[in-house]
Amino acid sequence: MSTDVDAVDPDHRPAVLTSGLSIVALCLGVLSSALYSPFVLVGGAAALVLLGGGLWTGSRRAVTIGTAVALAGLLAGGVQGIPTVPMLASVTATVLAWDAGHHAIGVGDQLGREATTARAELPHVGATVVVGLVAAVGSYAVFIAGPSGQPVAAVIAMLFGAILLLAALQR
Signed CA dihedral, 23, 36, 152, 149: sign only: negative
Decide if 11 is inside a domain. Answer: no
**What is the predicted pLDDT for the residue at 7?**
55
Q: Is 9 part of any domain? A: no
Note whether residue 97 is domain-resident. yes
CA–CA–CA angle 96, 145, 160 (5° rounding): 35
Distance CA 21, CA 18 (A): 5
For residue 45, give its domain range.
16-170
What is Dmax (Cα atoms) for the chain?
76
- Looking at residue 135, its pLDDT comes to 84
Does a structural domain hold residue 2? no
User: Is position 115 within any domain?
Assistant: yes
Q: Does residue 95 lie within any of the structural domains?
A: yes
> What pLDDT does residue 33 have?
93
For the chain, list residues with pLDDT below 50.
Answer: 4
Is residue 10 in a domain?
A: no
Whether 7 is in a domain gets the answer no
The reported pLDDT for the residue numbered 8 is 62
What is the DSSP code string of 127-162?
HHHHHHHHHHHHHHHHHHHS-SS-HHHHHHHHHHHH
pLDDT value at residue 95: 92
**Which of 100, 95, 102, 83 is CA-nearest to residue 29?**
95
Number of domains observed in the structure of the chain: 1
